[in-house]
Structure formats: structure tokens, C-alpha cells
Structure 1
Amino acid sequence: MEKHLDKKLEKLSDKMMQESGLEKPSFNFTNAVMERVEKVSANQITEYKPLISKQAWFVIAVALLPIAYIIVNNSSSSNSNWFDVIDFNSLFNYQFIDNMFSVTVSKTVLYTIVLFGLMLCVQIPILKNHFDKRFEV
């Protein structure tokens, strides 16, 4: 049944191809298309604006540096409570919140977090430069 249907479709397509013939584009087809492309690309140039400006990155860095300094300097023992640096008890007197901020962090985890943050700060400009070069025209 399918072979019969396939043969009918093949005969129909062959007949349509013979009747339609070859179509040829106009003499200046390529030039006309290229002119339109140039007009569109010239009209729609977008200027790159970063989502986070350089001033905002500077403010973020200035805000994170003291936090990293406090974390590194207050990790004298292997199980330091680095949430104890900030006194949250005066703001909240709930047992749940007291238990939540009594988390102990080992030096290894603390160093891992700091190094991860540093590596992230190093890799972002490198990747940005890579993608800027890749998308240059």
C-alpha cells in the first residue's frame, strides 16, 4: 500500500518538475540583495552597553574586600564561627535564627570559598575579552 502511494507521489512530483521548468533570477539579483543587506545592517547598529558598569564593579569589589578580610582574619581556629563577627542577636531574639547563625566553617571550606571568588573575578574579564574578540566584525 505504501509503495503504491510512494509511486503516485513520485509520478506527481516528476510531472510538476517537468511543467514548472527552471526559474532564473534577474540580472542584478545579487547586487539588489546585497544593497538591501547593507541598508539594514547600517540602520540597525546597536551599541554595546554592559549590564554592570565599571563603577558598579568597583563598588561591588570595595564591598566584598572587607568581608573577605574579616573572614580570613577571624578564622584562627579550624572550627570558627564566622557569623559571630556580626552581632545579629540584637536584631533578632528568635531561637531559630540563633541556631541558624551558629554554623561552624572549617578553614578548608573558608579558603575554598575565598579562592573560588578570586578565580571567578579573574575568569570574568578573560572570558569577556575572549567573547568580545570572537564577535568582532
Structure 2
Amino acid sequence: MMIYQDPHREEQIRKAIKAGGGEKPSPDFVRDVMQQVAKEQELKEVYKPLISRTAWGVISVMVACVISLSLFAPEKSWTLDLSFLSFLKTSTSPFLWYCIGIISLLVLVQVPLLKIYHSRSISRI
């Protein structure tokens, strides 16, 4: 691609710039700019993660303990005696389980649909 250069036009532009002179900023220009920068820095929110580093450390230690116990603990120590919970023995009808399943299915379908609807309503604004 060839660029057309006109030396006469460049010379005219240089003369116009020299004749016009540059604008000089006010004496307080630097101070005003720095005040604006300071205001912008004050307005910025500090990012705080929802889960802190120490919480992630505790979670990772717990996961490591569970994995190491499952790998190295003897099998007989895996049993857990829940006989003290004998009063919790209740019977439920199959109809209750069907209702719970249908409600769970409806929630699993409705949540993505509501998310799509919400995203579209926000994008219209």
C-alpha cells in the first residue's frame, strides 16, 4: 500500500502549528489533575473475595484429611453406629417421594429459564 505524501502540504501544516503556538495549561493544572486522580482512587472499591485465603486453606486441609483417611484408614474403622437415632425411623409414602421428585425437576428446569429471562431483561436496559 502506497502512502501519498505531499511535501508542500506538510510544510503548510508545520507553519500553521508554529504560527498558532501551543496552548499553555493553567498554573494549577497539575494540582487539579492530581486531585481528580486522588478522587478516582478513593472511589474504587477494594476487591474482597467471598471466601478468604484462610477459609480456602481450611477447606483444602479438610479435603486432604478426608482423602488420606479414605486411603490409609483400616476398613473396620469406616463403620458408624447410629443406633441412638432409632427414634427417627419413620415411613414415607411413595406419593411423597414422587412429589419431591417432581418439585425437584421443576426447580431444575425453572432456574435456568429464570436466569435466561433475567439476563435478557438486563440487556434491554
TM range, normalised to the smaller chain? 0.3 to 0.5
- Name the TM-score, length of structure 1 as normaliser: 0.39
The structure in which a higher percent of residues are helix is 2
TM-score by length of 2: 0.42
Which of the pair has the greater relative contact order for Cα pairs under 8 Å at 6+ separation?
1
